[in-house]
Amino acid sequence: MEPDLATKLQKVVLSEKEKGGVQLKEDDVNSSLDDCRLSLIGKVYGEKRANLNGLKATVGAIWTTKESFNVRGIGNNLFQFLFKSEEDRDRILDGKTWSFDGQYILLKKWEPDQTSFYEDEEKIKIWVQIHHVPLHWLTEET
């Protein structure tokens, strides 16, 4: 943490009400969990910052789903795609490698208590197109 910010935070004084914390209702938490169970977390990999409205418009046009879905930003180039059915969610997840504005969108099912994106992943599937490959290299193995 930057020294200036640390100094400022040390000067913060909470009111008695703020010291009491926040109480969440179990019904609210369960409702949020239900919404998240049908969601995907997506990270846009690239040097450019992804625009939420542009991303919504793009995936809305290319992802054909039976029901509407919602997109919300949850971090730097990190998004949550909220679906209404497992079928739609899984079809998008199992589909091809998706891209937005020339950058890959990597998707993962939402998991409870997930704190970072792809924290346990070592490999990421991507699709590559190579031109002018000699015909004798075009086999099922290659």
At 57-84, the pLDDT tens digits run 999 999 989 999 999 999 889 999 999 9
Q: d(Cα 87, Cα 121) in Å, to the nearest integer?
A: 24
Cα–Cα distance for residue pair 135/120, rounded to 1 Å: 38
Q: What are phi and psi of 34, to 5 degrees?
A: -60, -45
Is the full-model pTM beyond 0.75? no
β-pair partners for 98: 105
Mean pLDDT of the 7-11 span: 80
Tell which CATH classification among 3.40.50.300, 3.30.200.20, 1.10.10.10, 3.30.70.330 matches the domain 28-137: 3.30.70.330
Determine the pLDDT at residue 71.
95
